[in-house]
Amino acid sequence: MQIAFSKKLTAHETPIPGVVLYDLPVHGDNRGWFKENWQREKMVALGLPDFHPVQNNISFNEKAGTTRGIHAEPWDKFISVATGRIFGAWVDLREGPSFGAVFTAELDPSQAIFIPRGVGNAFQTLEDNTAYTYLVNDHWSADAQGQYTFLNLADETAAISWPVPLEEAELSDKDKAHPRLADVVPMPPKKILVVGADGQLGKALRELYDGDTTVEFAGRAGFDLGSEASFTERNWKNYSTIINAAAYTAVDTAETAEGRPAAWSVNVAAVARLARVAVEHDLTLVHVSSDYVFDGVRESHDETEPVSPLGVYGQTKAAGDAVVSVVPKHYIVRTSWVIGDGNNFVRTMESLAARGVKPSVVNDQIGRLSFTADIATGIRHLLESAADYGTYNLSNDGDLQSWADIARDVYELVGEPRSAVTGVSTEEYFRGKDVAPRPLHSVLDLTKIKESGFAPRPARAALEEYLGQRVMVD
């Protein structure tokens, strides 16, 4: 065997999405050769996923013609040859449009290939004493074998041209018995888990992902944030993402002796547990934050502004953000003035208008509404577009308004006069009441989310649709 020395580390795309063939630099002289078989920094810079390998396996094969596969496993693999030479064959056995796609190549020690979870892997040795080695990002276990997907080496649809005819090759009885492609059950993708799925945002996510079997929803009964079992008894290997739509949002009650520990428990302690799960299992964590992490002194808040919360609720949300920020794959989605399916400011104003009440409403707190339907759509955009990880402001767009302005819009849209709403200052409205401090400016700068390719709807358009849906339901 003649190895090509001093190749440049290079990546080559293949017909199977996510399968990438690499040329590896091999340095040799009269004594033999040396190569960096796995060099995380260089390979990640080249585009190889940072897939966190945890186990290294070697398959030694005494005779040319030894053939193994086609096995699709529930983990990613980085495959190379230590000695000898192979003919490799890979078939996409994942659910989706590329199911059944085939790629073949000969590999010697100067090459390697990355095989994502669910892509069937097989090889045939072309020389005696061939050692086939691979890194995997999960530990092998007997339980995992039930998640394998197999394809017969002789499948007519894949039509792999084996250099050594299969009737002359060394095969195991198990490999001979694997099904044809028509009988293969594709490997499903990893799931997204939505925690807090019964709240306003959770309901919007349910509606957005309705019918999508790759998204799993867990309300309090399905995922109790206060129970250790929720975090330890779930098989996290089956998930790619956690969307944390759960939060303690009783702003005023959070200032009380009973509310303070409850707010810290849900908004910080539980978030820390989710973050630990995400780190340990290489998951993406989506966490929803709030304008209350700011003191509202600045008229507009971008993602780089240091947090400066005024009250307990804001303090817990800021602490939760800090925890999530250390997760390598995270999106902190910062919202303001959330409106969804449930009790909220818009529904309250609608009810008052229907009863002919003329309310006094705060007119010196300035911001924009964030409708849960748009927050949910924005979260899906971040995940599906593979936007850079980090913090994103996400509210609706449009004119800046006070709560009094929004109340007048509601009154107008349900057929009542705008003049029925009287504006008062925050100080006057809360005089003599034991409440949490509020930021006066809650405007979130939307430049970053827009640059990622997502354009939030104007709040007025979203409000009209929201009230129109209520009228149609009633």
Between the alpha carbon of residue 87 and those of residues 90, 307, 373, the distances in Å are 10, 56, 50
Mean pLDDT along residues 219-247: 92
Is 251 part of any domain? yes
Residues 177 and 198 both lie in one domain: no
Kindly state whether residues 101 and 206 are assigned to the same domain.
Answer: no
- The catalytic residue among 134, 248, 292, 429 is 134
DSSP string for 278-312? HHHTT-EEEEEEEGGGS-S-SSSB-TTSPP---SH
Q: What pLDDT score was predicted for residue 1?
A: 55
Domain boundary among 183, 206, 228: 183
Residue 52: inside a domain = yes
pLDDT at 7: 81
351 domain-assigned: yes
Question: Catalytic annotation on 287?
Answer: no
Kindly report the pTM of this predicted structure: 0.88
DSSP 187: B
Q: Could you report the per-residue pLDDT of 122-177, keeping only the tens digit for each?
A: 999 999 999 999 999 988 776 666 688 999 999 999 999 999 999 999 999 999 99
Contact partners, residue 138, CB within 8 Å, separation at least 6: 54, 55, 74, 75, 144, 237
In the numeric block, which tokens belong to residue 298? 């600045």
Assigned domain for 271 exists: yes
Whether the predicted pLDDT of 473 surpasses 60: no
Nearest to 445 by CA among 430, 460, 434, 456: 456
Average pLDDT on 34-53 reads: 90
Question: How large is the average pLDDT for residues 396-420?
Answer: 96
What is the token pair recorded at 153?
């080496």
Catalytic-residue membership of 134:
yes
| Marked catalytic residue, from 71, 178, 330, 441 | 71
The per-residue pLDDT for 128 is 95
Q: How many CA atoms lie within 13 A of 41 on its CB side?
A: 0
167, 233: one domain? no
CB atoms within 10 A of CB 190: 17
Q: Are residues 283 and 369 in the same domain?
A: yes
- Within this chain, do residues 243 and 340 fall inside the same structural domain, yes or no? yes
Q: Which of 183, 213, 234 is the last residue of a domain?
A: 183
- Same domain? For 266 and 121 the reply is no
Q: Is residue 1 part of a domain?
A: no
Q: How many domains does the chain have?
A: 2
Could you say which of 183, 206, 226 is where a domain stops? 183
269-302 residue pLDDT tens = 999 999 999 999 999 999 999 999 999 999 999 9
Range of the structural domain that residue 300 is part of: 191-473
Eight-class DSSP state of 254: G
pLDDT (0 to 100) of residue 3: 72
Find the mean pLDDT for residues 369-383.
Answer: 98
* Contact yes or no for 335/369 (Cβ under 8 A): no
Cβ atoms of residues 389 and 329 within 8 Å = yes
Is 224 found in the same domain as 176?
no
CATH of the domain at 163: 2.60.120.10
The token duo for 254 is 């959070």
